[in-house]
A = this chain, B = another copy of it.
Amino acid sequence: MYQIIIYMFSKACEYGIKASIFIALNSYRNVRVSLKAIAKEINSPEAFTAKILQDLVRHHVISSTKGAYGGFEIEKELISSVKLSHIVNAIDGDSIYSGCGLGLHTCDESHPCPVHHKFKSIREELKSMLENTNLEELALNIKSGASFLKM
């Protein structure tokens, strides 16, 4: 059984979000970061993080360069347009929010589960938050020391 009910994100998403923030942070300084550096910074397992970064590259959330002096980056001009929802979609797929909180086949207004109306507003709020939070603001908060990527 879980220890936390609100499984906001899968581990994969957690790592993906944190990695993206760290990459953004460095891309402002035109610095490409390696998998190794990322995993160290966000305190994540290297090989698993690699898989997630590959996903993000495939979905064009970040870009990668192979070979020596290679690594991951995000085009500076794009950082402010990358939303949390993009990252989450890339990693967990985009069938987000369509599921019923109690596992009914679909979440359907005309055939609601017992908690449908109670959860709907919360879910919408979360959704709009993800769609309106961009990497730039998150990176700036890290930079200013207002928030942290590990511990």
Contacts and interface: CB of A to CB of B under 8 A. Distances in A.
Given A112-B148, A114-B21, A13 B8 contact: no
A101 B17 CA distance: 11
A68 interface: no
Do most interface residues of chain A lie in helix, strand or loop, or is the interface mixed?
loop
Nearest to A15: B103
Interface in A84-138: 84, 88, 91-93, 95-99, 101-105, 111-116, 118-119, 122-123, 125-126, 129, 133, 138
Contacts of A105: 151
Contact of A13 (B5, B12, B99, B116): B5
A2 B21 CA distance: 22
